[in-house]
Amino acid sequence: MPESKTPFSEQDLHRFWRHSAFFRMAQPLSGGRMMQVIDRGRYNRDAGPDFLDAVLRIDGKLVRGDVEIHLRERDWYAHGHHTDPAYDRVVLHVVLGDPDPGQEIRLENGTSCPQLGIPVSDLQQFLSALENGKNLPVLIQCPLSQQPVDKIVLTVHRAGALRFWEKVESFREQIEEQSWDQLLYRGICEALGYAKNQEPFRRLAQLVPVDLIFSELRETPRDNDPDTLVSALLFGAAGLLKPPERSGPIDVEVQQYLSPRQAIWQQMQHVLQIRPMRMEAWQFFRLRPQNFPTRRIAAVSRLILRFYRQGMLESLLPLFKDGNLPVRRIITELRNFFSIPAEGFWAQRYDFKSRTSISSNAAGFLIGEKRADDLIVNVVLPIVAAYARETHHALLENRVFEVYSAYPGLQENVLTRGVRQQLSLDRKTARAPGGMRGARFHQGLIHLAKLFCRHLDCDTCLRITPPAAKFETEN
């Protein structure tokens, strides 16, 4: 292409690759071959190719590898990629404009890969659509958005049901390795870890299984404080019971909190043969203080104390088995179970360092109502439904799905906001024949975004049918 300045950036091309409907159709490559995009791959924000593990069909043959994107064909060589083995898995080079016909780019390992040219006019149209959509990535001419509003709402609700039953089956596959209580405990721990601390929380749940904690609680003398015992086990195994480095006077409250737990941990670590995690395994950087792993571990400790006498699952089952209990009352009781106020030491602490005054209602909870809703919808209800299926308890399974379908809406995120905008739902709300704010609808938006919108699988999206479950209901 001409060596003239372009108003576009590589970031514009990245967005085009990730979100444009251009790739729904087969495209010609350098050398005359035809390519269809099956999976665009994972966006790579670190060193190396721009997109990893893409799946393409080139002349009918499936190819998996990485995708590199440049404004100009010559940038591949100008950036030294032809001598860098980190780019040996590249299977497609995407450039703006027309690449040299018949010319493939060379890789360091001696092989070559084809190039795909993006027409300038298509990129301009795409960027214009983004600008009109307030810079949110939306699919141009989304087929579902052109359907009647009742069809859109029905499709999203069906997607929400699909997501729920897929979670149920996933939990059923895991039960062979652990007890139902351990499955609930691990799922809650992982969910409280968010993205940054999910793996450390998973490791902690393995190091200190909930059945072990229940056993220790039931055997401990009545005059011992159960909260001290549980928090000692969890913080100790997490590697977080070390006193903070002092740069000033000793914080008496921190010392009073840590000392008895350190003593218990020192004794129990040897008896139970638990090798603690490294403190560095936990991420605090760029986290809201309310989400610090110290507060989340304290929340798990308090949550365990609510369940240990009967067990987690056995404490929850009566809510669903009581046929006289209204669904709204079940939801209220579940929220009461999983909302944990910040009391005592944690009423004014985020960690074991400086004292912090906490005044807002949200910060005054170790698990607030919104986070409790996420746990209930994504972990608790699917696991109870999985138990119902495993035990062939049809009425219980039906009741759980009824609660899920009636559960109030969850917090919006970038995925749900993007799909809402793509489907123009805010403008259609007044004409909608059913609820568009409940948890099932919210989960349906996520399911559409991840399984269909991300891969531009529009035809399958339009054909979503109810899952193969006895108790599917339409909202």
Do 319 and 448 fall within a single domain?
A: yes
- pLDDT for residue 428 is more than 80: no
**pLDDT number for residue 226:** 92
| Higher pLDDT among residues 304 and 101, named by residue | 304
Q: How much is the average pLDDT of 242-263?
A: 80
Tokens matching residue 137: 């990535």
DSSP letter string, 45-71: -SSS-SEEEEEEEETTEEEEEEEEEES
Q: How many residues does the chain have?
A: 475
Do 114 and 221 fall within a single domain?
A: no
**pLDDT number for residue 163:** 95
| Higher pLDDT among residues 224 and 110, named by residue | 110
- pLDDT for residue 152 is more than 80: yes
| Higher pLDDT among residues 320 and 429, named by residue | 320
Residue 202 pLDDT class (50, 70, 90 cuts): very high
Do 279 and 155 fall within a single domain?
A: yes
CA atoms 420, 426, 427, 433: torsion sign = positive
**pLDDT number for residue 429:** 55
Tell me whether strands 115-118 and 112-113 are parallel, antiparallel or unpaired: unpaired
Tokens matching residue 35: 């390519």
Q: How much is the average pLDDT of 415-422?
A: 83
Q: How much is the average pLDDT of 360-381?
A: 86
Neighbours of 241 (CB within 10 A): 23
Residue 443 pLDDT class (50, 70, 90 cuts): very high
The answer as to whether 438 is a domain residue is: yes
Q: Which residue has the tokens 């069909």?
A: 57
Tell me whether strands 90-96 and 115-118 are parallel, antiparallel or unpaired: parallel
* DSSP state letter for 325: S
Residue 475 pLDDT class (50, 70, 90 cuts): very low
Do 121 and 159 fall within a single domain?
A: no
CB 440 within 8 A of CB 402: no
For 114-146, how does the pLDDT look when each residue is reduced to its tens digit (9 = 90+)? 999 998 988 888 887 766 544 444 454 678 888
- pLDDT for residue 8 is more than 70: yes
Distance CA 139, CA 156 (A): 16
**pLDDT number for residue 9:** 87
Do 343 and 208 fall within a single domain?
A: yes
Average pLDDT, the chain: 86
The answer as to whether 106 is a domain residue is: yes
- pLDDT for residue 262 is more than 90: yes
The answer as to whether 291 is a domain residue is: yes
Q: What kind and span of H or E run contains 91?
A: strand 90-96
Instruction: Enumerate the H helices of 107-197 as residue ranges.
Output: 120-132, 149-174, 180-192
Do 190 and 295 fall within a single domain?
A: yes
The answer as to whether 27 is a domain residue is: yes
**pLDDT number for residue 134:** 41
Q: What kind and span of H or E run contains 261?
A: helix 252-272
**pLDDT number for residue 206:** 95
Do 458 and 392 fall within a single domain?
A: yes
Residue 244 pLDDT class (50, 70, 90 cuts): low
- pLDDT for residue 363 is more than 70: no
Domain final position from 132, 163, 192: 132
Quote the number of domains for the chain.
2
Q: How much is the average pLDDT of 281-302?
A: 92
Do 97 and 164 fall within a single domain?
A: no
Domain final position from 97, 132, 167: 132
- pLDDT for residue 233 is more than 50: yes
| 428 contact partners, CB below 8 Å, separation of at least 6 | 149, 152
**pLDDT number for residue 308:** 86
Burial of 189-225, coded b for 16+ CB within 10 Å and e otherwise, reads bbbbbbeebeebbebbbebbbbeebbebbeeeeeeee
**pLDDT number for residue 467:** 61
- pLDDT for residue 284 is more than 50: yes
CB 213 within 8 A of CB 233: yes
CA atoms 276, 281, 285, 291: torsion sign = negative
For 46-89, how does the pLDDT look when each residue is reduced to its tens digit (9 = 90+)? 788 999 988 899 988 888 999 999 998 889 999 999 999 899 99
Distance CA 156, CA 461 (A): 10
The answer as to whether 138 is a domain residue is: no
Domain final position from 104, 132, 160: 132
For 158-177, how does the pLDDT look when each residue is reduced to its tens digit (9 = 90+)? 999 999 999 999 999 999 88
Burial of 358-375, coded b for 16+ CB within 10 Å and e otherwise, reads beeeebbbbbbeebbbbb
Distance CA 97, CA 189 (A): 49
What's the burial of 262, exposed, middle or buried (CB within 10 Å: 0-12/13-18/19+)?
middle
The answer as to whether 188 is a domain residue is: yes
Distance CA 160, CA 155 (A): 9
**pLDDT number for residue 285:** 84
**pLDDT number for residue 47:** 80
Do 270 and 391 fall within a single domain?
A: yes
Do 156 and 274 fall within a single domain?
A: yes
Q: Which residue has the tokens 């403008």?
A: 427
For 387-400, how does the pLDDT look when each residue is reduced to its tens digit (9 = 90+)? 999 999 999 999 99
Do 197 and 101 fall within a single domain?
A: no
Domain range holding 305? 151-462
For 300-337, how does the pLDDT look when each residue is reduced to its tens digit (9 = 90+)? 999 999 998 899 999 999 999 998 899 999 999 999 99
What's the burial of 52, exposed, middle or buried (CB within 10 Å: 0-12/13-18/19+)?
middle
DSSP letter string, 433-452: SS-SSSHHHHHHHHHHIIII
Do 108 and 169 fall within a single domain?
A: no
Q: Which residue has the tokens 């549980």?
A: 230
Percent of the chain with pLDDT strictly greater than 70: 87
The answer as to whether 467 is a domain residue is: no
